[in-house]
Amino acid sequence: MNRCAFQRSTLIRAGAAALAVAASAGFTASAVAATTVPLNGAGSTLVAPLEAEWASGFAQKTGITVNYNPVGSGTGITDISQGTVDFGASDAPLSSTQASGCANCLQLPWALSATGVGFNLAGIKKLNLTGPVLADIYLGDITNWDSSQITKLNKKVKLPNETINVIYRSDGSGDTYAFTNYLTKISSAWATKVNYGTSVQFPAGVGDKGNSGVTAALQATPGSIAYIAVPYLIAHQVPAAAVANAAGNYEYPNLNNIENAATTVKSVPSSNALSIVDPPKSAKIAYPISTFTYVIAPTTAPNGGELQQFIKYALGAGQSDGASLDFAPLPKVVLKADQATVGRF
């Protein structure tokens, strides 16, 4: 799907995706009065717009309120590990250290989307980038928009003689995990100097908190570039770069491109941890920074029954809420693994 298709779908979905703005402001809650103790969750800002839809539909069906605080994946993992919430949400699977620190916790992928690359260049809506060029920009080695490395990828675009203002996430973030994991796979220089994680030491640029904060910084800063969860690009009508995949095709983070990246999952490990960044050439139209996002909770949760109902709703009827926000349906092999896991909560 080309850039124009991404932009048309952006306009169609912008109203629904405005939930991202509301979700980023604080706790979301159903308008339906709760009949039981509410569920409280915290974490990923990427999944917040979809979680708001799930919370509303689930409350209408069950009368159970689900409050969600989009504080970033890193904080979500900390909160569930400390037992201050009923569930955490993260776009990064638990590391071995985090898993050890979260007593009796299980994780399962409950949504599928992508981290996009937004840019702010006056009069320019189309931009091609590759992984190595992105790595060099974030390493501080490419500093101008009209550098030869970028212009040769965009021969029909008049790029300005303008400094690239690099923006990254300052908080622990699953989008940072997906983006830096991708750069680590695509660039040996990045792998050596920075590596990947929910938080890394960026060699260049300035940080801002949350997807909403980074989006606002991008829109306010001419010549800027930032990695942002796709629902926020849609909500704010920010143009996304087409990123070259392993097959050599430049792809946008549209639903079919995200789904194509997920077709590379043929089995699910016992940890339920999955990575689909930089998929192989066989995924010809895959967007290469696609990512699963996870729910994390202990098997000993005091509201385990209600939590299990909510997760089952998200995996079932809730999957239909995703398309308007650029969340693709989970592959069948992933759903099967999820259904085996959810019964353990």
List of domains in the chain = 14-111+294-342 (3.40.190.10), 115-262 (3.40.190.10)
Nearest to 291 by CA among 187, 210, 198, 163: 198
For 281-295, how does the pLDDT look when each residue is reduced to its tens digit (9 = 90+)? 999 999 999 999 999
Enclosing H/E stretch for 257: helix 255-262
Query: Does 8 score more than 50 pLDDT?
Result: no
Question: For the segment 320-338, what is each residue's pLDDT rounded down to a tens digit?
Answer: 999 999 999 999 999 999 9
Q: What is the pLDDT of residues 258-275, one digit of tens each?
A: 999 999 999 999 999 999
Distance CA 227, CA 206 (A): 12
Higher pLDDT among residues 7 and 263, named by residue: 263
Instruction: Using the predicted structure, report yes or no on whether residue 1 has a pLDDT greater than 70.
Output: no
pLDDT for the residue 32: 37
The crossing angle, in degrees rounded to 10, of helices 332-342 and 304-315 is: 170
Sheet holding 105-119, edge to edge: 66-69, 39-43, 87-90, 290-298, 105-119, 224-229, 165-169, 206-208
With 0-12 / 13-18 / 19 or more C-beta atoms within 10 angstroms meaning exposed / middle / buried, residue 40 is middle
Nearest to 196 by CA among 229, 230, 172: 172
Helical packing angle, 48-62 and 304-315, nearest 10°: 110
* Mean pLDDT on 242-256: 98
Q: What is the pTM of this model?
A: 0.88
> pLDDT at residue 314 above 50?
yes
Q: Is the pLDDT of residue 227 over 90?
A: yes
Judge whether residue 21 has pLDDT over 50.
no
pLDDT of residue 302: 86
Beta bridge mates, 108 = 295
pLDDT at 212: 95
Burial status of residue 96 (CB atoms within 10 A of its CB: 0-12, 13-18, 19 or more): exposed
